[in-house]
Copies of this chain bind each other. A is one copy, B any other.
Amino acid sequence: MSEFEEPIERLIEYFRGLPGVGKKTAQRYAFYILEGNKERAQNFAKAIVEVKEKVRLCSECGNYSASEVCPICSKRNKKVICVVQEPKDIVSMEKIKSFDGVYHVLFGCINPLENKGPNDIRIKELLSRVSKYEVQEVIMATNPDVEGEATAMYIAKVLKPLGVKVTRLAQGIAMGSDIEFADEITLEKALRARQEI
């Protein structure tokens, strides 16, 4: 006999799948649902389903968006593109508030150990945006680790022939850390001190 009834056990398993959630925490979450309001649980479930149904990738930048083109791409300066590895990096960058350009999500970086080459991340899309909108500057905000650096260098190399200025966030960000978890002040300093590659 397992510890919980089957539907409870199953829900605990799904909660355990969330990042950083262990057995005890997953049990607490499941009991919260069990103890809580039924309608609220149904709405919670609906929110999970709808986030997958209604949210797609912005056709310009690749960030999660509820519309064909995301609010950032439709309103801001298309001449300056900040390139990030993941959508969550945009959340951190947006905290600066003073950046008025757009973003480009690579969805990863060049990583030979994971068999990820230049064709496996959204570099082709970046190149066509650069040509299409006569982009003046591409700011590389990939993570400050070996793979992120290599990716920034590679992209700088392929963009140079197009006559676009390619810069890199200043190394105010500690090596080996993660853009997602950087604080706003460090990020703002890094943005201001960006260097041409």
In this complex, how many residues of chain A approach chain B with their Cβ under 8 Å: the count is 49
A49 CB, nearest partner CB in chain B, Å? 5
Q: Which residues of B contact A48 (CB under 8 A)?
A: 11, 14, 33, 41-42, 44-45, 48
One of B40, B51, B71, B94 near A34 (C-beta < 8 A): B51
Contact indicator A66/B14 (Cβ below 8 Å): no
Mark out the residues of chain A between 52 and 104 whose CB falls within 8 Å of any chain B CB in the assembled complex.
52, 54-55, 64-66, 70-71, 87-88, 91, 94
A33 CB, nearest partner CB in chain B, Å? 6
Residue A127 at the chain B interface, CB threshold 8 Å: no
Residue A46 at the chain B interface, CB threshold 8 Å: yes
Residue A32 at the chain B interface, CB threshold 8 Å: yes
One of B8, B42, B51, B88 near A55 (C-beta < 8 A): B8
The chain B residue sitting closest to A66, CB to CB, is: B5
Q: Which residues of B contact A51 (CB under 8 A)?
A: 7-8, 10-11, 30, 33-34, 41
Residues 1-45 of chain A: 1 if any B CB is under 8 Å from the residue's CB, otherwise 0?
Answer: 101111110110110011110000101111111100010111111
Residue A50 at the chain B interface, CB threshold 8 Å: yes
Interface residues of A: mostly helix, strand, loop or mixed? helix
Residue A47 at the chain B interface, CB threshold 8 Å: yes
CA distance A65 to B17 in the complex (A): 24
The 3 closest A-B pairs by CB, nearest first: A45-B45, A5-B66, A45-B48
13 contacts between A and B (CB under 8 A): A1-B71, A3-B91, A5-B65, A6-B66, A7-B51, A7-B66, A11-B51, A27-B88, A31-B87, A31-B88, A33-B51, A44-B45, A45-B46
